[in-house]
Each structure stands twice: as structure tokens, then as C-alpha cells.
Structure 1
Amino acid sequence: MIVLSVGGSLINPGEPDLAYLHKIAESLRHNRGLGIIAVTGGGKPARTYAEAIRKLGGNEFKADETAILSTRQNAHLLTAAIGRKDGHVIVPQDFDEAARAALSGRIVVMGGTIPGLTTDADAALIAEKLHAERIVNLSNVDGIYDSDPRKNKGAKKYKNMSFGQMVQLALRSDERTAGTHFIFDMFACKIIARSRIETHFVNGKNMLDVENAMRGKAHGGTVVKG
């Protein structure tokens, strides 16, 4: 069993990226035999709606609830792209439902679960629950850097990283507010650290790296273990 955390900005950077959905769905179908659960983020719509809730006077709990709806919309998009033959047709709403769905042998896609948890945390928890062999994090960045490579051209990329190093990096960037972006939040890092779940970070649009990471092979991203 492997768990993918699929960045919402890959699926919906402003509108659904149908070409990408077809590509990632094909990759998941090709690797169905690994046993796959994918957790989708919310992307730009989640951030837009969360910010609108705040401007309308809603609190962070309500902003989280609204962002979760966007993650589930993206899950429905990916489920549709995978198709009924290979994918579980219902998007699970919680971890127990996801665990039951995994028994079908089909690819399971879910979004967020409860306010306060990012979809990275959801991915870490379902991986822990099901004793997943590894987590693969797909984003628009090709690994973990010591600072944001989109803002700092001199950012250092890690090829390998320990769980402890990852927790420290997450502590520097975790804001714990709906719709904010960081490579992997602190709570998720602590979950994978306590259960020592090998975690791979790759650019989600590099399909060769995605498939290699799913299979535990060498790739151009970052591997966290040990």
C-alpha cells in the first residue's frame, strides 16, 4: 500500500487541468497493483474561498470547512479521470471509510477530513492507519529545499533527509491557517516520524519521477527516512 498526497495546485491551478488529470490518472492505473490511496489538496479554489470566508467575518474553523470542500471537489475530478474500472467511485469522507474502500482493490481518492488538518496530515494519518509502505508527495516543486526555490534562486535542495530534519524545517514554515502553503506541515511530519514512514517528494508533473517514487526507485526529488 502506498499513499499519494497530490497538491491541489496540480489539479486545479485556477481551473481544472484536464491534461494533467488524464496523465496522473494513467500513471495511477498503471501502478494500481501497488495498492493506492490518493489524497487531494484544494489548490487555488481552497485558498480563494477560505480568504472570502475570512473577509465575510467567518472564523478559521469555517475557513477550514470551506477549503475541505475544494479538496473533495478535486478528489471527484481525479476519481472521474481514473474511471470506474480501476477507481473506487465514492470519495471517502473519513479515514475509516477510506480504509474500507481500500479493501476493494481499486484506487481510492479522498480529500480533506476535518478542520485543522491539512491534506498532507490526512495522507500521513491514513498511511499510518493502513501501515503504508511509503508516502509520495506530489507538488509543483521537485523536492524539499532549505527555503522556497520559487523566491530564492540560491535555495539548497535536499536529496535525502532524516525525519528529525524534516520536522525542524516544517516548524519554520507551518502557519496552521486554511489555504496557506508549505511543503509538508508540522503535524504530518510528526506522524510520519513517529511511525517512520518513508516519504518521497517529487514534482507531480514529472511522470517518470512520480512512478519511480511510487515504486521506491531512485528519482530526482527528496527522500525522507531514517
Structure 2
Amino acid sequence: MNTKVLSVGGSIVAPEYPDTEFVSKFVAMVKDFLSKNPEDRLILVVGGGGPARIYQKAFREVTGTGENAGTDAADWIGIMATRLNAQFVKASFGDLCKEAVVTDPTVAKDFTGKILLAAGWKPGFSTDNDAVLLAEKFNADTVVNLSNIEKVYTDDPRKNPDAKPLDEISWADFRKMVGDEWVPGKNCPFDPIASKKAQEMGLKVICAGGKNIENIRAILDNKEYVGTTIK
């Protein structure tokens, strides 16, 4: 059985509220892929997206906590948003996903369905790290990270017009870009804590645009795709 792990950014599933058009297309694509690849199964780890950031912002306004303060309270708010999003996606797959949403990747058991849904675990990192831990547990050699950017850039393209998209980058160079510190709600191509673990494992991560259903299918089919490979 070939297990593939997808870290599905919450900004794709629920940029502000659930994107039913995207989720419908994504579910249809995954069902078709699995029907044509019976030896494959998928682990989907869903992020918090808009709901996480909205509630974290509200928490900081109420408490006067600084935006970059790494508080457990802000992380727990984001984690709860990931669990709501994951439950929504799990329900959308019906009988293909038989087990409950995984909230602790270290105790996840082998699953009988074709799809396993996972959400945030505990403070200190994002769902990207949960995806890496599940890849380790289920012997997957690649994590596909789906977000609202198509490629990793040399710098933030919103701030630097000279930033260039990358087709491939080493873990050493990527980690120089994202640093080593996690801040709740941090928006970067791949979580710094997850990046450190992935480098230690020798894991390959593909960062790609989550809205491009055909491109996601190309990645699953091991065909040519648009994205950035980190290894």
C-alpha cells in the first residue's frame, strides 16, 4: 500500500469561510484518483486558515497580546480551527474516511479506509509538522504542501518585486529563509519546526498551489507539475 501525505492549507479549505466550490472539486478529484489507483491511500492534514487567524486576532485584541507573541493560548485557538476544518473535509469524503480525525500523530493507528484526516495537535508548530510526523509514522517519502502560493520565492514577492520563484531548493537554503521559530498564525511556505524535522528525516516536500486541482492530480500521478521541491 502506497501512502501519500498532503498538508492542505486552511487558507485553501476556508480562506474566511468554507470554500465549498473548491472542496467539492477536490473531493471529486481525490475520489477519481483513488478509484484508478487502488494501491494508494491518502493522509490529509488540514490547517486552520481564515477562522484561525480571525479568532487569534480577536484574542490578541481582547488581551492586548502582541501580534508576534508566541502564546499557547493563540496556538490552541488555531488548533481548534484546524479540527473544525478537518472534520468538515472528513465528512465530505463519507465512507472513504472511516476513522476519527487524528489529533495526535504520534498515536495514530493504521487506518482501514482509503483516506485519513488529521488536524492540529498541540502548541509549538503548525499542521505542517503533523504532516511530517505522519509521513514518518506511515513510511511516506514525500509531503505535498498545498497553500495559496504556487512556488517558493527567494523573498516575499509582495514586498520585493525582484523575488524569484524556485523550482527546487535544498533544506539548508530553505531553512535560512524561514528561520527556526514558530509564531502562531505565521504565514510561510512550510513551518520552520516541520522543516527541521523533514531535513533530519531526508523527507521531500513539494510546495504547490492548492487551488489548482489539475496540478494536484499531476503531483499525485507522479507527472510534471508546477511547484517547488524541497529536499
Q: Do Structure 1 and Structure 2 share a fold, with TM-score over 0.5?
A: yes
Tell me the SS of whatever aligns to 1:190: helix
**For residues 1-226 of structure 1, what are the structure 2 equivalents within 5 Å?**
1-32=3-34, 33=38, 34-57=40-63, 60-84=71-95, 86-97=96-107, 99-100=108-109, 102-171=110-179, 176-225=182-231
TM-superposed CA distance for 1:51, in Å, is 2.1
Contact 1:47–1:180 under 8 Å retained in 2: no
Q: Report the residue type matching 1:6 in the other structure.
A: V
> What does the per-residue CA deviation read over 1:23-46, in whole Å, with 9 as the maximum and x for residues that have no partner?
111222233342211111101110
- Cα distance in 1 for partners of 2:222, 2:125 equals 27
- Cα distance in 1 for partners of 2:156, 2:115 equals 32
> What does the per-residue CA deviation read over 1:64-119, in whole Å, with 9 as the maximum and x for residues that have no partner?
111100001110111122222x123521121145x31x431420111100011211
- Cα distance in 1 for partners of 2:132, 2:102 equals 16
Aligned-residue CA RMSD in angstroms?
Answer: 1.8
Q: Which runs of 5+ in 1 are unaligned?
A: none
Tell me the SS of whatever aligns to 2:117: strand
**Aligned residue pairs, count:** 220
Percent identity between the two aligned chains = 35
Q: Which runs of 5+ in 2 are unaligned?
A: none
- Cα distance in 1 for partners of 2:226, 2:19 equals 24
Residues 150 and 13 (structure 1 numbering): CA distance in 2 closer, same or farther, change over 3 Å? Answer: same
